[in-house]
Amino acid sequence: MNVIVAADYEDLSAITAKIIAEKVRKNPRIVLGLATGSTPLGTYNELVEAYQQKQLDFSQVSSLNLDEYIGLDPDHPQSYHVFMKKHLFNHINIDEKNTFIPDGLAANLHEECRRYEEIISQIGPPDLQLLGIGENGHIGFNEPGTPFNSFTHIVDLAASTREANARFFHSFEEVPNQAITMGIGSILRSSEILLLASGKRKAAAIKRLLKGETDEQFPASVLSEHPNVTLIVDEDAYQET
Ligand SMILES: N[C@@H]1[C@@H](O)[C@H](O)[C@@H](COP(=O)(O)O)O[C@@H]1O
């Protein structure tokens, strides 16, 4: 795993956006795997700025998002559909029909998982996958114990994940109990992965990740088996290593 230590969150966002921008320029038809959470927000801001300054063109880019809550309408303010529009898609010239996010309201959720995995095969897999990391090592919404060979599936969210994400909702109770997520096997199909981690809250997870021991109880540890992963981490998240 390559490791880039950024001075702070701003630096981490600038470095990540620069890498993505270079890839988009090199391959205008690139397939990006995108993540939600607070960590990629700065990166998305930088990409929007580059687009506004006419330094980037997303017209032929496709995107595949990692996950979506089950039971939230795509128009719900905390749905990942709204998140992506609000923070990226509405501000760049990506074609909406080339953006894919699991449907958490599908009548048949198992069928939706199969459909999404098929989309990943047809459109992707991503040339470049952006990932955050949960404090318990989750990637996407793959909680500890998820088999490393899993494909898109339904997950029961860990209480700790719901607690961590409750800050975006009015209350803990409002945080959905379940989500659809690309599996760990789906994520590993990407040609290249950028894993972002910022802040003291993530320091213990990064320390464990860098030990390099693979363990299904710590989903991110599987990344040491992928040939092209770059961890971009700020000093706060790197401190305990
Ligand atoms: N499903 C998302 C993950 O994709 C994300 O990596 C994680 C960390 O979020 P944050 O970046 O806000 O710490 O949160 C959510 O659970």
- The preferred substitution site among 12, 131, 138 for testing ligand 1, maximizing ligand atoms within 8 Å of CB, is 138
Q: What pLDDT score was predicted for residue 241?
A: 56
CA of 40 to the centre of ligand 1 (A): 9
Kindly give the number of the ligand 1 atom that is closest to the alpha carbon of 202: 13
Interface pTM, i.e. ipTM: 0.95
What are the backbone dihedrals phi and psi of residue 33, each rounded to the nearest 5 degrees, phi first?
Answer: -95, 125
Strands 67-69 and 178-181: antiparallel
Q: Which residues contact 116 (CB under 8 A, 6 or more apart)?
A: 100, 102, 152, 180, 182
Residue identified by tokens 């590993």 is 188
CA of 36 to the centre of ligand 1 (A): 6
Q: What residue ranges line ligand 1, CB within 6 angstroms?
A: 35-39, 66-67, 132-134, 140-141, 161, 165
Kindly give the number of the ligand 1 atom that is closest to the alpha carbon of 66: 4
CA of 135 to the centre of ligand 1 (A): 9
136 catalytically annotated: yes
Collect the ranges in the chain with pLDDT lower than 70. 240-241
143 catalytically annotated: yes
CA of 61 to the centre of ligand 1 (A): 23
Q: What pLDDT score was predicted for residue 239?
A: 82
- Residue of the nearest CA to atom 9 in ligand 1? 37
Q: What pLDDT score was predicted for residue 240?
A: 61
What H or E segment, with its residue span, contains residue 25? helix 9-26
Over residues 157-199, the pLDDT tens digits come to 999 999 999 999 999 999 999 999 999 999 999 999 999 999 9
Alpha carbon distances (Å) from 27 to 120, 127, 202, 227: 18, 10, 32, 20
Secondary structure E strands in the chain: 2-6, 31-34, 62-65, 67-69, 99-100, 128-131, 153-156, 178-181, 192-197, 229-234
What H or E segment, with its residue span, contains residue 19? helix 9-26
Tell me how far apart the alpha carbons of residues 223 and 214 are, in angstroms, rounded to a whole number.
Answer: 8
Catalytic residue chosen out of the listed positions 65, 136, 142, 165: 136
Catalytic residue chosen out of the listed positions 81, 87, 138, 153: 138
Q: What pLDDT score was predicted for residue 232?
A: 98
